[in-house]
Structure 1
Amino acid sequence: MAERSAREILAAKLEHFRREHAISSDPAQRFALEQQIEQTERELAALGASTPASPLRVDLTHLPAGAEHFLGRGPELAALDRAWASNGATAIVECIAPGGTGKTALAKRWLDAQRAADPPWGGAERVLGWTFYSQGSGAQRNASEDLFLAHAIERFGVDIDAAANPADKGSALAEALMARRTLLVLDGLEPLQHPPGQLAGELRAPGLKALLTQLAAAGHPGLCLLTSREWLTDLKEWVRPPDGSGADAAIESEIEPTGPLRGSVLRIDLGSLNEADGAALLHARGAVRAGAAAIAPAQARLDPELRAASRALGGHALTLSLLGRFIARAKGGDIRRRGEIDLVRADQDARGHAGRMVAAYVHWFQQAGRHREVAALHLLGLFDRPAAPALLDALRQAPPIAGLTEPLQDLDTDTWTITLANLADAGLIERRDANGAPAPDAATEPDTGTDLIATIDPAATQVDAHPLIREHLGATLRERAPDAWCEGHRRLYEWLKTNTPYRPDGLPGLQPLYQAVAHGCLAGEWHEALADILDDRILRGTESGSSYSTHTLGAISADLAAAACFFDEPWVRPARPLSAPEQAWLLHEVGFRLRALGRLAEALEPMRTAAEMRVFEQNWTEAGISYGNLSELELALGQIQEAVTDARRSVEVGDRSDNCHLPVKQRPRLADALHQQGANAEARAAFAEAEAMQAERQPQYPLLYSFMGFRYCDLLLSDAERAAWSAAAQETANGGGYRSAFAAGLVAVCTEVARRAAQTLEWGEQNQAPLLTIGLDHLTLARCAL
């Protein structure tokens, strides 16, 4: 009876929560209700009770602008439909193309079709979209996966510690996606991939790598749609080979498989629009005449003038869309007048195409005396994300920024709104509500089931532009008005650092400070951004285990992206204005985080440079730490001789330090490297020396403990373990003899090492040592028992 009563109570609570969720329009309340719904469903499941289907949850507000200039792509849309209908046979679709060719547009148009499908979203329970695109697409681009992981983990109710490493978070998230039919759209992955070179296309985000490879290997009942400028080499093993027939064969890439193909990944090489689709896009955007003759919509795809223009621009969708709008506004819709615009195709660079079109718009605005539009447009060159209203207001405040914001002074709200509307009408910007969704005046409606409802408050309207447009505007402003560029970033930096809580909680709370770091560096505020923002307010100290963002939130990737702002060339040349101690500290922190993310080869150079700089400064304590970390890294990479050499250096400089604990900590590192090299006698002597120093400095703890003790036990057990494996192999070959192969001395060694581990485990538990320390002691005891 008690169990039935509990079920009835939980069922009533579930019905209440779902009813409140259905009628609530408050995003925070809806999200809280979702958590209560999922918890109640789990409790009912634990009692063996079935629950009705969960309400549909859709969050596409984190996708960027860019779907407006869509046309054509019939085979690609059909391929996406087949993948979604495969019920997991196709787990991942990669959509790859250069910037501005319509990857995001394709994804968003397909999502529009899924919203209107029967059933909506193909029966998915959850739909989530996210973009990783940040300003810049060269070798220095850096972005973070941390905010996405935190958001997705919270949205999907994944139970994992915030400080867990990114790979574990990605794996746990994959398990959640496998449990329910989910549609996941990840847009603009290229900032998280290695640039052209030896590792080109490989993800440098361990969380996403774990998520995507697990989905590809194990499959799931939903679909993950990816867009990028580069193929994801991490997924190559699972890519479906072309079958030589049908539409799929025309769009799947030719590959050279390196492993067993499971066919769970479909690659779509989007490419540029063909001449006919490009011509139709020009017509749809306003190029509707050829001289005095009107071009009928039905004839647009065949019209020679439109096709020639499409061919001249290489079918680049963004540029064609901008050109069509410009022809409509500045040339009376006459496509023959395109020759009056400086759009000579000098190269294949997509940014060059779009940039020329933006420049043509700027020139036209200037000729027409519309200086407000020119100034407002150039403000977006200061951003790498949608521009929040408060930040735009900060830039428009008096006194004006010389050469940039004079036309925007003293504008009333209506005039400012009209200015933005004119830019939106030209296709240069998109206005988005406070949650990131297209604003209502963009003729869109909120998604059915969306948690984040669009606002109609103009003061909360964000302004966004296609990344290629932002890149062009930023490069132009920096080149032609460097003082305005610096002052603009300085204002944004000042506003963000002043209007953000001093030490906000959680990863979302830290985002304005990460953004402040980027603007501060671009404004030349190197020292303050490093010391006051990154170190004091984000990291909150970098002593062992004390960093808030790294050790509490697990935001290793976000910290690394922030650190990249302080480099002229990551991870080689820190910014010159930084002092030598600042550069050394920065290089060490970068090396530590690259190692934590599994990017071991990349971590070598900054770690070595940091160690050498600290020796030059005679900072013996930090130099000893740096060389010790470098030795461990080299050992992990199999560079044993280098590891021994640098471990010796760590001991040498550590002995010159005034830190009495450092000599004890560095000797076990040297001893471990010597052990891996096979120099066991010298390794034993180094461990024994370290333990004697330990007993002298801490008489209450006469044995090496934590990592130091684990490494020592590893050496002490090595002879016994070799004998055990040799005996096991002999027993397999000849039968019997397993016990007799052990010498009494080796058994005694195991007993002694077990005694050591039991003692250090007791100390660790008494002093609430880190879980890893306690875990290593348990591991040593298990090895002794084996």
Structure 2
Amino acid sequence: MIERHLNIPKIAQRLSQLNLTLEDFKANVGVDRRTIERLISGKTTTPQRETVRIIAEFLDLPVHEILALGEADTAVPLSEQELYLPMTGAYCVGREREIEQLDRAWSDRKLNLFSIVAMGGAGKSALVNRWVGMLAQDGWRGAERVFGWTFHSQGMRDTVASADAFFDAALRFFGNAEPGAKTAWDKGKRLAHLVRQQRTLLLLDGIEPLQEPPGPKAGQIKDAALAALLQSLASQQPGLCVVTTRIGVADIDAWHSTTAEVLNLQGFSDDAGAEFLQVLGVQGPVAERRAASRTFGGHVLALQLLGAYLKETRGGGCQPPLRDYHAR
């Protein structure tokens, strides 16, 4: 008889897409917590049909997608991944080259830190979410632990005062057993030490609220603990730290071209922008959609707003509004 077990990578990917943590899943799925924990840990490998149905309904997935047959996949247990990343749109088009760069960064054991730099609304978070989803689907490709955090407030404000909440959550996740650090710098070094213990994928989204704005100190990190963490990880670690920001991280300049790499994310190409508008429901001719993308510089958020506007006011038609934009 073929053994059935939960498809852990698929479930992890779906939780990431829904912006849910493992604790959210355990608390709200509607299945006895001990049963869920045994299924996740692998102690129970043959889930009951009703349990599978409930999990599939909670995740809004077909039953067959949360089941795997045969030998268990080599994957990061759900207890070893925790993601607090921002919600992004369902579509990520025209980023094949950037996805390949992230893949190479993860595979390159000599590369320790990968920064994605671009203006706000350029699609940095969407790119990372897409890549993380692909990793989850592939069983995390050798990652032993995965932790993600966004430094942007999830409400009206776009700033944070410090990285304290991140360090509290991360130190807990990585199993810190030592008393509080004497200084912020010590706290950052302590977390870096814990991260290094296994091959870890650390994702830090939107750190610019903790950086100096353009000027003499542009890009320097104002939070000493975060600066210590990034410098330590850039210097040495078996995994990879991925950072997204609107301004380059000055604190790791010394490691550029050696153990740290920067991707300056550009806007969509005309073709990718046209495709993006199409998946958003804009029905105009390809030439019109290409021209619209060019007019808005391929800026992801601008095109998303344009697509929503045209769908709402024109039923997805791009004429005459797009022609009006082109004539300006």
- How big is the shift at 1:26? 3.7
- How big is the shift at 1:165? 2.2
- How big is the shift at 1:25? 2.3
Q: 2:292 matched to 1:320?
A: no
Among candidates 224, 227, 245, match of residue 206 of structure 1: 224
| Cα-to-partner distance string for 1:508-550 (whole Å, 9 max, x where unaligned) | xxxxxxxxxxxxxxxxxxxxxxxxxxxxxxxxxxxxxxxxxxx
- How big is the shift at 1:329? 3.0
- How big is the shift at 1:181? 1.0
Distance 2:232 2:281 in 1: 46
SS at match of 1:230: coil
Displacement over 6 Å in runs of 4+: 343-346
Among candidates 271, 275, 283, match of residue 266 of structure 2: 271
Could you tell me which residue of structure 2 aligns to residue 187 of structure 1?
A: 205
Among candidates 159, 168, 187, match of residue 150 of structure 1: 168
Could you tell me which residue of structure 1 aligns to residue 93 of structure 2?
A: 71
1:142/1:152 Cα in 2 relative to 1: closer, same or farther (>3 Å)?
closer
Could you tell me which residue of structure 1 aligns to residue 195 of structure 2?
A: 177
Distance 1:344 1:152 in 2: 48
Could you tell me which residue of structure 2 aligns to residue 102 of structure 1?
A: 123
- Equivalent residue runs for 1:549-560 within 5 Å: none
Distance 1:345 1:180 in 2: 56
Distance 1:324 1:214 in 2: 43
The one-letter amino acid paired with 1:267 is: V
Q: 1:67 touches 1:109 (CA, 8 Å); kept in 2?
A: no
Q: 2:151 touches 2:160 (CA, 8 Å); kept in 1?
A: no
The one-letter amino acid paired with 1:58 is: Q
- Equivalent residue runs for 1:373-522 within 5 Å: none
1:238/1:163 Cα in 2 relative to 1: closer, same or farther (>3 Å)?
closer
Could you tell me which residue of structure 1 aligns to residue 103 of structure 2?
A: 81
Structure 1: give runs of 5+ residues left out of the alignment. 1-20, 38-52, 241-262, 291-302, 347-786
Q: 1:160 touches 1:169 (CA, 8 Å); kept in 2?
A: no
- How big is the shift at 1:332? 2.5
Distance 1:68 1:193 in 2: 29
Distance 1:113 1:143 in 2: 32
Higher-RCO chain (CA-CA 8 Å, sequence separation at least 6): 2
Distance 1:196 1:269 in 2: 17
SS at match of 2:196: helix
Distance 1:83 1:308 in 2: 33
Q: 2:58 matched to 1:58?
A: no
Could you tell me which residue of structure 1 aligns to residue 12 of structure 2?
A: none
Could you tell me which residue of structure 2 aligns to residue 227 of structure 1?
A: 244
Give 1 or 2: higher helix fraction. Answer: 1
1:169/1:163 Cα in 2 relative to 1: closer, same or farther (>3 Å)?
closer
- How big is the shift at 1:344? 8.6
Q: 2:117 touches 2:245 (CA, 8 Å); kept in 1?
A: yes
Distance 1:121 1:161 in 2: 32
Distance 1:54 1:231 in 2: 31
The one-letter amino acid paired with 2:269 is: N
Could you tell me which residue of structure 1 aligns to residue 145 of structure 2?
A: 126
1:304/1:230 Cα in 2 relative to 1: closer, same or farther (>3 Å)?
same
Could you tell me which residue of structure 1 aligns to residue 62 of structure 2?
A: none
- How big is the shift at 1:312? 0.8
- Equivalent residue runs for 1:584-663 within 5 Å: none
Distance 2:323 2:105 in 1: 45
Distance 1:124 1:85 in 2: 10
Distance 1:158 1:223 in 2: 20
Could you tell me which residue of structure 1 aligns to residue 255 of structure 2?
A: 238
- How big is the shift at 1:58? 1.6
- How big is the shift at 1:162? 3.2
Rg larger for: 1
Q: 1:201 touches 1:231 (CA, 8 Å); kept in 2?
A: yes
Q: 2:114 touches 2:262 (CA, 8 Å); kept in 1?
A: yes
Among candidates 334, 338, 341, match of residue 317 of structure 2: 334
Q: 2:76 touches 2:140 (CA, 8 Å); kept in 1?
A: no
Q: 2:76 touches 2:145 (CA, 8 Å); kept in 1?
A: no
Aligned pair count reads 261
Q: 1:238 touches 1:264 (CA, 8 Å); kept in 2?
A: yes
Distance 1:165 1:281 in 2: 47
Q: 1:125 touches 1:181 (CA, 8 Å); kept in 2?
A: yes
Distance 1:81 1:322 in 2: 30
Distance 1:267 1:59 in 2: 25
- How big is the shift at 1:150? 0.7
Could you tell me which residue of structure 2 aligns to residue 114 of structure 1?
A: 135
| Cα-to-partner distance string for 1:237-258 (whole Å, 9 max, x where unaligned) | 0011xxxxxxxxxxxxxxxxxx
Distance 1:231 1:183 in 2: 20
1:163/1:176 Cα in 2 relative to 1: closer, same or farther (>3 Å)?
closer
Q: 1:71 touches 1:277 (CA, 8 Å); kept in 2?
A: yes
- How big is the shift at 1:340? 8.5
The one-letter amino acid paired with 2:96 is: G
- Equivalent residue runs for 1:288-327 within 5 Å: 288-290=283-285, 303-327=286-310
Could you tell me which residue of structure 1 aligns to residue 282 of structure 2?
A: 287
Distance 1:106 1:124 in 2: 19
- How big is the shift at 1:265? 0.5
- How big is the shift at 1:163? 5.7
SS at match of 1:179: coil
SS at match of 1:289: coil
Q: 1:313 touches 1:345 (CA, 8 Å); kept in 2?
A: no
Distance 1:151 1:205 in 2: 16
SS at match of 2:320: helix
1:26/1:131 Cα in 2 relative to 1: closer, same or farther (>3 Å)?
same
Q: 1:101 touches 1:271 (CA, 8 Å); kept in 2?
A: yes
Give 1 or 2: higher strand fraction. Answer: 2
Q: 2:212 touches 2:220 (CA, 8 Å); kept in 1?
A: yes
SS at match of 2:241: strand
- How big is the shift at 1:86? 1.5
Among candidates 204, 215, 219, match of residue 197 of structure 1: 215
